[in-house]
A and B are shown apart, each in its own frame.
Chain A
Amino acid sequence: MIELSTSLSSLGDLRDSDLGPYDAVYLGNLFCSRYAGNLLERPAELAEAIRIVRGQGKRARLTTYAAVRTGGLATLRRALAAAAAAGAEAVEVHALGVIALAREEAPGLALHVGGFANVYTDLGAAVLRELGVARIAPAAELTLEEAHAMARAAGVPLELVVHGKVPLGISDTCLLLPHEAAWGVRCPDLCRRDVFLRREEWTLKSVGTGVLGGLDLCLLEHLPDLLAAGHRHFRVETLSETPAYRREVGGVYRAALERAAAGDAALDPDWWATLRRHARVGLANGFAFGRSGMEYVAAATPRPVPLA
């Protein structure tokens, strides 16, 4: 059973989004408690969001902060309890200590471990499997071959990000706050704007307390290989993107996955046009192939264009 998931931060984001292409949604902003409408900080809105997602026949999941101090644990406990009561299906943990909180507050939720947890090896994945973790998003720097090997050796299904900005770092400090006066934009609106950092040919995207790659990770033409390797859980990362991006890019991947699952590797030219239109800087997938994250590696066998 192939699954395509995505992410969003707030009830407003959810109401503006068409989740049609997706099977599951991770709710909450993992970067900052001050993000406008962050569902992690609003249990009642989180419950409402879960009801909306479930009402659309989708699986609702809670994400949690990528870096959380002791003082923030109580907030996560409240979010976990609210998510469990509202019928969420799973919780995604990035700070490993939150696994125990999830067990205590929401024992019925499946445990997923997210990309900021730094799961680099099959040994680490095996430890998490013994703790009852049902799914792992491996560290972004891993190659696909390493991910395949991790899944085989550890026996834990992986969730692979197939499209979206690559998470590169999490911070205690907001990069955007010092710009409030000069920019004339205030928190919490700062990180809702598209902000890129450029230096010569390098591009990053800032979300205030997080740094993402500026290029969009794109594994569209590698989907047949991912399916052949046994992966079934895929994610289009849209936490910092618009509802249009969420709908249209998700639509491309839904169609491409269905076609690949049917044994057809052909890629529709319109799909590329959609992805390029939404990628403000460009496409990349270098980490997946042992290259720098900004490079793009094409499929070894060019994917055909479908017959008209």
Chain B
Amino acid sequence: MLALLAPAGSPDAIAAALDAGADAVYVGLKGWSRGGARGEVDWAELRAAARRTAAHGAELQVALNTIPPPAERERLLAAVPRLLDLGLRTLIVNDLGILAALRARHPALRLTASIGCGALSAADVAFFRDRGAAAVVLPATLDPAEAAACVAVGGITVEVMCHMVEEYVLLGRCAMPSYVHLKPTALPGGLPDALRQTGSMKRGGVGACFRICQQPWRLEAADGYTAAQRFPARQLSRLAEVPGYLAAGVGVLKLQGRSLPPEALAPLVARYRRAIDAARAGQPVEAAGEPALPVQWTVVGR
């Protein structure tokens, strides 16, 4: 069973994703998700989202994928029972320690090791399975054969972020923004001493990453060679590989883009819905020709 997991950063986006055929939707909870406030929902919106997804027979997942320092950690962990009360059963986390703590406190909770955990191999997948993750997210840079090797590990659902931006630095492995600028920022509704390190992709969550990799740079070698340099980034779409991922035993195809507006999200979800349904029926997947998405969201607006 190959499921389609769509992003949503607003109530309208949640509705658009469900109407377009998502089996599940993931959202960021305000203050606790990587990617910034533009793609997060508050508690009231989350409650409404839980009702709406349940009515659609779909699942709502929540990304708690920043790494709070110890002073904030208890606030994050204390939020989890409230999520359970809303009927949520799957959380996406970004840190080995948070994964272990939630596994110990909530054995029934389904935990996903986010793409930011950096799993790239069958060995990494086994590592997160053995630490209690029910699912692990791999980047679309892994083709179906590599995904199959990860599926073969067994005992864990393999998800592939099949529509994403491949940035120069691997997701979850970037400290470039904070190297040039780091701005302590108050956590929304948080404690006075609970500051987010805006600029850190791992510990931020309330703003931009300062787009260091989108800037024009000058490459200068010691021997005098110089050239203009931009860090490469490209939009990856694995639409044509959907049958391959299905055959590989991948459990979930995930789309990136919690800050996508509903009008961009809906056709994207619908396209992958059709591809999955066609692959399941043994029919050809429609030709790719992905609509271009705005550059503004592709690198930092996930």
Residues of A at the B interface (CB closer than 8 Å) are 66-73, 95-101, 116, 118-128, 139-141, 146, 149, 153, 166-173, 175, 179, 182-185, 193-199, 202, 204, 206, 211, 213, 286-287, 290-294
Contacts and interface: CB of A to CB of B under 8 A. Distances in A.
B169 A124 contact: no
A127 B67 contact: no
Contacts of A116: 173
Interface stretch (B2-10, B16-24, B220-228, B288-296): B220-228
Contact of B150 (A70, A118, A286): A70
Contact of B202 (A71, A95, A118, A123): A118
Say whether chain A's binding surface is mostly helix, strand, loop, or mixed.
mixed
B97 interface: yes
- Sort A-B residue pairs by CB-CB distance and give the 9 closest, nearest first: A123-B97, A97-B123, A169-B169, A124-B97, A97-B124, A293-B179, A194-B222, A124-B96, A121-B97
A172 B219 CA distance: 19
Contacts of A101: 123
A141 B169 contact: no
Contact of A198 (B69, B176, B220): B220
B203 A120 contact: yes
Interface in B143-202: 146, 149-150, 166, 168-170, 172-176, 178-182, 184, 197, 199-200, 202
Given A168-B176, A175-B232, A292-B178, 17 more contacts: A67-B170, A73-B122, A95-B118, A95-B121, A118-B95, A124-B97, A126-B100, A127-B131, A140-B175, A141-B197, A141-B203, A153-B70, A172-B141, A197-B229, A199-B217, A204-B179, A292-B199
Contacts of B231: 175
B98 interface: yes
Contacts of B215: 199
Contacts of B67: 120-121
A296 to B, nearest CB: 13
A73 B142 CA distance: 15
B182 A70 contact: no
Nearest to A213: B179
B175 A293 contact: yes
A287 B178 contact: yes
Nearest to B130: A100
Interface centre among B101, B176, B179 (most CB of A within 10 A): B179
A139 B202 contact: yes
A290 B123 CA distance: 34
Contact of A73 (B123, B181, B182): B123
Interface centre among B118, B180, B231 (most CB of A within 10 A): B180
A170 B169 contact: yes
A118 B201 CA distance: 11
B222 A206 contact: no
Contacts of B197: 141, 290
B179 A168 contact: yes
B220 A123 contact: no
B176 to A, nearest CB: 5
Contacts of A193: 221-223
B217 A70 contact: no
B127 A97 contact: yes
B268 interface: no
A179 B216 contact: no
Interface of B: 67, 69-70, 73, 95-98, 100-101, 117-128, 131, 141-142, 146, 149-150, 166, 168-170, 172-176, 178-182, 184, 197, 199-200, 202-203, 212, 215-223, 225, 227, 229, 231-232
Contacts of B173: 66-67, 116, 118, 169-170
B142 A69 contact: yes
A19 to B, nearest CB: 25
A85 B61 CA distance: 47
B174 A197 contact: no
Nearest to A99: B127
A70 B70 contact: no
Contacts of A146: 69
A122 B95 CA distance: 11
Contacts of A67: 118, 120, 170, 173
A267 B227 CA distance: 40
Given A123-B100, A171-B168, A183-B225, A72 B121 contact: yes
A141 B198 CA distance: 12
Contacts of B223: 193
Contacts of B168: 169, 171, 173, 175, 211
B262 to A, nearest CB: 32
A69 B203 contact: no
A101 B149 CA distance: 16
A117 to B, nearest CB: 8
A287 B222 CA distance: 27
B180 A202 contact: yes
Nearest to A286: B182
A68 B121 contact: yes
24 contacts: A66-B173, A97-B126, A98-B123, A100-B127, A118-B202, A121-B67, A121-B95, A122-B97, A123-B101, A127-B96, A127-B131, A139-B175, A139-B202, A141-B200, A166-B175, A167-B175, A169-B174, A170-B170, A171-B168, A184-B225, A204-B176, A286-B182, A287-B182, A293-B178
